[in-house]
Amino acid sequence: MVGTFGTVHLSGGGIKVEVITGSETGITPEMAKRFNVELVPYYVSYNHRTYTEGVDFDKDDFYRSLRQAQNFPTTSHPTRSDIIAAFEKAGEETDSIIYVTISSKHSKPFELANKAKEEFHDLRIEVVDSGKATAGHGLVALEAARLAGEEADIAKILGRMEEIKERVDEVLALNTLKYLAKGGRIHRAKALVGSILSIKPLITYRDGFTAPIGKVRTHPRALEFIVSKIRADLERYGSSGIRCIIEDADNREWANQVKERITKEFEPEEVWQVDMSPISAVHIGPGAWGVAYYCL
C-alpha cells in the first residue's frame, strides 16, 4: 500500500464514536488503525476452499487462480455473527457506533446489521448505507471516521453523512467484460463483442446500483475521462480539492501512473493507493482499476 496521510486527532481517554465498515472497501490494516476503523471480513471461495479477506488470503495465488480457473470464484458477505462480534468489540471502547455498509442493493450487511443491533440495548448503533461499493464505500467510511477522530458526536456525524455520500464518487475502468459475463452481470454475447472491439467499460454507482458511465478503448483514455469528471465535480461543488483512493486489481504498474497523474493534476489533500478487494475483483476482473474521490 502506498499512501499519503493527513493528521487525524483521535480523542484521548476513550473513543467517542467508533466507525465500522466492511473489508471489501480496500481499506488497509494501516489505514484502519490510523483512523480507528474496525473492518468486518468478507469471504471468497475458490479451489475448494473459503478464505477470509485480510486473514488467510494470498493475493498472488488468488489472481493466478482467477485468470486460470474454470470454476468461477464465489464471494460472501459478513455473517450476522461477524457483525455482532464487531459490535461487541467496539462496545468495549464506546457506547456510540456507526456501521457504514456496502450499498444495500449489492449485498445484505445493511439488513443484517440492523437486525444485529437489536441485541445491544446499552449501545447506540446507527447503520448507514453508503450507496456505494469498493473504494467509494471506503471513502464514505473514512470521512465518517475522520469526524469521529475530531471528537464529533454521533449526531453531528450522522448529520454530515448524506452530504459526504453525495460528494464521494468513483469511476472503475474494467480491463475486460469477461468477468461481468461469468458472474451473470451481462450477457455473454455482449462480453464477446466487447472483447473483439477492445472496449473497456467505465462504471460507477448510482442510487446504490452499479451503472455504466462510459466506454473507451484504452486505459489512458479512461484516465482522461476520470480527470475531466473530477474537474467537473470540483466546479459543481465549488470544492477546494479532493481526497482520493486509487485501487487496482493486479495492475499496480498502471495504478502507479494513475496516482502520479491525479497527484500532479489535483494535488489531493490525501491520496491512498490500495489493492482492490478480491470481492470486487471476482466480478470485474484482473487488470481493472479505479479512482474514488471526495470533493472537499
pLDDT tens figures, 183-228: 544 444 343 334 444 678 899 999 988 888 988 989 999 999 999 9
Overall average pLDDT of the 279-293 stretch: 93
- Give the pLDDT confidence score for residue 61 in this predicted structure: 82
Task: Kindly report, residue by residue over 151-163, the tens digit of the pLDDT.
Answer: 999 999 999 999 9
Residues 226, 231, 237, CA angle at the centre, nearest 5°? Answer: 120
Q: Distance between CA 145 and CA 10 in Å, rounded?
A: 10
> Where residue 119 falls among pLDDT bands split at 50, 70, 90?
very high
The three cell numbers of residue 281 are 475483483
Instruction: Give the count of beta carbons closer than 10 Å to the beta carbon of residue 278.
Output: 25
Joined together, the cell numbers standing for residue 246 give 486509487
Mean of the per-residue pLDDT values for the chain? 88
65 band by pLDDT with thresholds 50, 70 and 90:
confident
**Cα–Cα distance, 273 to 289 (Å, whole number):** 11
Phi then psi dihedrals of residue 201, to 5 deg: -70, 150
Alpha helices in the chain (DSSP H): 29-35, 59-68, 80-91, 109-116, 134-149, 154-167, 178-182, 188-197, 219-237, 252-266, 278-284
Q: Measure the CA–CA gap between 86 and 84, rounded to whole angstroms.
A: 5
